[in-house]
Structure 1
Amino acid sequence: MVRTSVLVVGAGPVGLMLAGELRLGGVDVILVETRSEPSGESRGLGFTARATEIFQQRGLLRRFGDVELNRQGHFGGIPMDFGVLEGSHFGARGVPQYKVEEMLEAWAKELGASVRREHKLITLQNNADGVVAVVDGPEGPFEIAADYLVGCDGGRGTVRRLGGFDFAGTDATREMYLADILGRNIRPRFIGERVPEGMVMSARFAEGVDRIIVCPRGVPRKERTEPITFDEVADAWQRLTGESLHGAEIRWVSVFTDATRQATEYRRGRVLLAGDAAHVHLPAGGQGLSLGITDAANLGWKLAATVKGWAPADLLDTYHSEQHAVGARVLRNTLAQGLIYLSGSEVDPLRGLLAELVAIPEVGRYLSGMVSGLAIQHDVGSREHPLLGRRMPHVQLTDGRSTADLLHPARGVLLVADGDFGPVAKGWIDRVDFVRASPAARSDAGWPADVQAVLIRPDGYVAWVAPSTIALSEALSRWFGTPVAPVAE
């Protein structure tokens, strides 16, 4: 029997991100994957503003090289300027999913994660004190005993089924097609173009490579026993546009649907779900991969703290309470976008009204915050300050670092500009970094003038702001457990 602290099933971006987060938390992790090598496929071609920040918090964004951050996006095909939020953007564009996987796998391995390919989960036992999984590897089946198991194995994942999770929602009503082709001069349709029989999208994302998406109206989902062929995609494209792509060189072809489902619980005892294993939805606005990355960032430090023994009793439960709500909101907005985007002329009045509403700054900010992920606000026990429960904005500090730089080790951070909080912070010095630095420039969004200090969780969310009616020791205890020594305020 092989022994590990956490067994992660699935080596996509979410599983790899989680493995890295767990290693930063000092936890042993084995990641098993059925594929012998990365797929090289790229359903996603970028990530949201919040996922961009998460990568920056771990010092990973620079590994992608020059990343194009785009202010222009859409909501259900209605153009939007995401720059209406300070520091906001639609997200990083032109980063294929396979590059995200390559980067995250290299990072996780650098940190000491064990990635085992050609390993398939067969059974699992979810016991009170741990999980025993039977895994079939190249040399035959064997057992892995772990304190916890996390399913990051996708929308059709094995962990959710074996773990007895309920996957509530709606089945697919239609199927749509995606392909990457080479050597064709296709007219760009960056946010999609509605045509009489559906919607088509096309964009150049690499030298000579075009991504096409075909969403025919009235085509029910097929029960497929064989992979989709490019001829089917080219036939649909020609039917909708009148243009022929037959005979093009193909890099990748796939099919997707509008199935919308979410696990009713993200944790059952010692088994947890993250990414598409926990939620599936229409890929509107490029939110799928990014939602999974936020799952991994939220879960990683909490699970590591639980395994290490310093987590408060209910810390791991906040993964479900926080991320289930975040996921539900993404499912709602993608359903809404699908209705606006993919329906026929009968919704033209609604599209016209929405275009007028988006032009109102308050509405633009609301929708931008929703789709970018920057509007996420967790319940941290108080909302006496606007920063509480929200992600810490990127702020340059007088010591030359930024707030993102402080989060590279995935530890808590007590950032103090004014006041004497050091004596209290010493009680949690083994898991919270004490930093005395001021913002290089004050701003209402980044560091309001009334703020003396902020307590930032390892996932970048603000758990306490001074001045406060809540004692710092109370906030530290809630998120970082019992101090190593008695503390006097």
Structure 2
Amino acid sequence: MEHVVIAGGGPTGLWLAAELRLGGIPVTVLETRRKRDPHSKALTIHPRTLEVLATRGVLERFLAEGRRIPSGHFGGLDGRMDFGVLDTPYPFTLALPQARTEELLEEHGNAAGAQIRRGHQVTGLTKDEDGVSVEATGPDGLYTLRADYIVGCDGTRSTVREAAGIDFPGNDATTWLSRFGNAARRAAEYRRGRVLLAGDAAHMHYPAGGVGLNVGVQDATNLGWKLAATVAGTAPAGLLDSYHTERHPVGADLLLSTRAQTALMNAFSAEGQDLRALLSQLISTVPEFSRSLAEHLSALAVTYPAPAHHHPLTGHRAPNLELSDSTDLFTLLRTGRHVLLNFTGTPAPPSTPPHIITHAAHRPDPRPAWSTVRAALIRPDGHVAWASEQPDAEVLRAEAHVAVSATHR
């Protein structure tokens, strides 16, 4: 029996496979294409995706081959957003053909121990309480795999989504004299029992802003550690459901953004041209507007829902905190584990479980949002699970113990 089967060996499926292997879970990827497509559909890797690659120690190979672009456009407007103002070590987009991106991701997946089968296509599935029977065809004909879970990363015409009966509501494409349509759809559910969706199988949109590949990789980063913990039997109740809770709204925002950009690119009327001119002027002359738009497009602004009364940082992406002269947060995240940061100089909670890395920072971070934080728990995907400014050391240790305990069972 397979633990996880991934349908689709594009960027989303390959990255998810490596994430699951980082969590110690055997995974099989079934990819229809016998060889990688040499013709690239996507070129742009955004700052947040560059951060994600850095947290797994594979970014340097991408940077060595890609071209750095320090500014970006929204909907083809003349005004350019300056990525240099963003709070990230990578204030640029990286232009790299998707064919090469896939090759690097496949090498990463193979090195992690994922089983990637090319020339194998998922044709159907049946699911029950104990697992999923995956029907597939390969060079030797039809066969069936039994798995704990299947993840559909098999594109907008997803066989997995259709076989699971998951609705894909949205609007159909207008007929254009173009290679692309402007259809916009989002799966009604990103999880139905033992079937999950990620990447283009979960959301379909016009390729404005080069965001599709990036959102798929970020879907996989959110899902990977949660699914790994679930398969391993260590996940707390509701953890896997939080994949839908957190990423489904991101999909809605993706469709909103790409529809807006599509409208701007096709605003040929006099009124439309006036709107384009006004927005271009705002981007060029109002730094706060330009920065907010750049944070939105680059996914640095993505924040997940946090329980009431939690610290304001909870759910936010953690920046690459410089923790000492020799290490930073992104380096600690390379193991795929939670990271408990201690800015107080006092001992960490006793009996920290093995899936938690505890690090005593030599200094607080100077960023205003972080300068008074005394302890924080960072998830494997780089988002803040818990943070506290509690001045009492004993109370702080008790709070940290509760936060750590909530990450496993």
* TM-score (structure 1 length as normaliser): 0.78
What corresponds to 2:405 in structure 1? 477
- Whole-angstrom CA distance in 2 between matches of 1:24 and 1:431: 12
Look up the equivalent residue of 1:481 and give its one-letter code: H
What corresponds to 1:240 in structure 2? none
User: Which moved further from structure 2: 151-160 or 291-300?
Assistant: 151-160
What corresponds to 1:184 in structure 2? none
What corresponds to 2:393 in structure 1? none
In structure 2, stretches of 5+ residues that fail to align are: 391-395
Q: In the alignment, which of 436, 444, 450 is matched to residue 372 of structure 2?
A: 450
What corresponds to 2:330 in structure 1? 404
Q: Output one character per residue of 1:252-301: Cα deviation in whole Å (capped at 9) or x when no partner.
A: xxx22111000011001100000000001111111100000000000000
Bigger radius of gyration among the two: 1
What corresponds to 1:124 in structure 2? 125
User: Which moved further from structure 2: 320-329 or 120-129?
Assistant: 120-129
Structure 1 residues 27-176: aligned runs within 5 Å: 27-66=25-64, 67-78=66-77, 79-87=80-88, 91-175=92-176
Q: Which has more strand, going by share of residues?
A: 1
User: Which moved further from structure 2: 435-444 or 100-109?
Assistant: 435-444
Look up the equivalent residue of 2:57 and give its one-letter code: G
Matched, 1:309 2:236: no
Q: 8 Å contact 2:31–2:120 — kept in the other structure? A: yes
* Deviation at residue 418 of structure 1 after TM alignment: 1.2
Q: Output one character per residue of 1:89-115: Cα deviation in whole Å (capped at 9) or x when no partner.
A: 664322111111111111111111111
Q: Specify whether residues 290 and 39 from structure 1 end up closer, same or farther in structure 2 by C-alpha distance, changes over 3 A only.
A: same
* Deviation at residue 148 of structure 1 after TM alignment: 0.2
- Whole-angstrom CA distance in 1 between matches of 2:375 and 2:145: 44
Q: Specify whether residues 106 and 439 from structure 1 end up closer, same or farther in structure 2 by C-alpha distance, changes over 3 A only.
A: farther
- Whole-angstrom CA distance in 1 between matches of 2:267 and 2:311: 41
User: Which moved further from structure 2: 127-136 or 79-88?
Assistant: 79-88
Q: Output one character per residue of 1:16-43: Cα deviation in whole Å (capped at 9) or x when no partner.
A: 0000000000001011011111112211
Look up the equivalent residue of 1:52 and give its one-letter code: L
Secondary structure in 2 aligned to 1:256?
Answer: coil
* Deviation at residue 381 of structure 1 after TM alignment: 1.9
Matched, 1:365 2:291: yes
Q: 8 Å contact 1:69–1:90 — kept in the other structure? A: no
Q: Specify whether residues 289 and 435 from structure 1 end up closer, same or farther in structure 2 by C-alpha distance, changes over 3 A only.
A: same
Q: Which has more helix, going by share of residues?
A: 2
* TM-score (structure 2 length as normaliser): 0.92
Secondary structure in 1 aligned to 2:209?
Answer: coil
Q: 8 Å contact 1:89–1:372 — kept in the other structure? A: no
In structure 1, stretches of 5+ residues that fail to align are: 178-254, 483-489
Look up the equivalent residue of 1:295 and give its one-letter code: D
Q: 8 Å contact 2:173–2:182 — kept in the other structure? A: yes
Q: Specify whether residues 352 and 385 from structure 1 end up closer, same or farther in structure 2 by C-alpha distance, changes over 3 A only.
A: farther
Number of paired residues?
A: 398
* Deviation at residue 63 of structure 1 after TM alignment: 1.8
What corresponds to 1:206 in structure 2? none
Q: 8 Å contact 2:338–2:378 — kept in the other structure? A: yes
